[in-house]
Amino acid sequence: MHEMILCKLHLTNSRLPFLLAVLMAMSLASTTFGALVLNILAIQIKYDDYKVRLNLLAFLCIIAWRCLEIATRVTVLVVFCSALKTLVAVVALANLTALFLLPWVYFWRSGSSLPENVEKNFSRLGTVTVLGTVTLLYSAINMFCWSAVQLNLSERDLIDQSQNWGRLSLHYTFRLLENSVLIFLWYFYKEDGFEYFCSPLLVVQLLVGYCAAVSFMLLFYQYFHPCRSLFSHNVSDFLLCVCFRRGKPSHRRIEGKETYV
């Protein structure tokens, strides 16, 4: 009887990693699909006067970009939490606070007033509460991946319709530095349970994975963006401008909208 119970427990324990892997793969697939849908909706919102079509290569590029970005970011946070459980709350709160305040700082610097069409029956306090809730959701998304839709609290639709390369590059630069710091802290303070893993290889894989996500993102905007012909400067021009200081990226007006490139 005891042998049968031990056998069942052994079978259950052997199946548990497989089931966890399946659940993690399903979660990653659903999250990547949601990010893909948001990317497509963001392009349609920004270029609503044009017919937007994505080919197969564009879909594959977005999927690779989002899958690598989300998977590496979540893995970095998980392994960091396994070594420094008390600091992970500080990291999460710092990210949420900074990302929550960023749209409000841009709004305060613009000198604009609060939009009045959030809800006609809302008072000023109710409008601020709704905008705060939206900003909190926005900050939670940006903590794991770059949000396809950027907030602009001074706009009527609350959506920034300009392609802000500066904010995009700042986000990925800071996130890469943060991931590097977190994964190196884990490497030096990791517990003994990781002695069977090749820790240096894991560090390299996570950093290379995130760099690969950024590369797929740049590849998409350079070659597969459906409205890339509307850009007065492409990604390579912007990188040359940043690296060699040959000038600032210009912008062009498209039927009443300014698209920064």
Residue 259, SS3 per DSSP: strand
Residue 244 belongs to some domain of the structure: no
DSSP string of 36-105? HHHHHHHHHHHTTTS-----HHHHHHHHHHHHHHHHHHHHHHHHHHHH-HHHHHHHHHHHHHHHHHHHHH
pLDDT in tens, 221-237: 888 887 777 666 666 66
Residue 215 belongs to some domain of the structure: yes
Q: Which residue has the tokens 């998409």?
A: 220
Question: Of the ranges 12-21, 184-193, 199-208, 226-235, which is most confident?
Answer: 199-208
Residue 207 belongs to some domain of the structure: yes
Identity (one letter) of the amino acid at 248? K
Rounded (10°) CA dihedral 87, 93, 95, 98: -140
Q: By residue range, what is the domain housing residue 67?
A: 58-229
Mean pLDDT, to the nearest integer, of 49-77? 87
Domain count, the chain: 1
pLDDT in tens, 26-60: 777 877 777 788 788 878 777 777 777 788 888 89
Residue 69 belongs to some domain of the structure: yes
Residue 237 belongs to some domain of the structure: no
Residue 25 belongs to some domain of the structure: no
Higher per-residue pLDDT: 189 or 11: 189
Residue 242 belongs to some domain of the structure: no
Mean pLDDT, to the nearest integer, of 63-85? 89
Residue 200, SS3 per DSSP: helix
Residue 120 belongs to some domain of the structure: yes
Residue 121 CA, distance from chain mean position? 34
pLDDT in tens, 123-136: 667 777 878 888 88
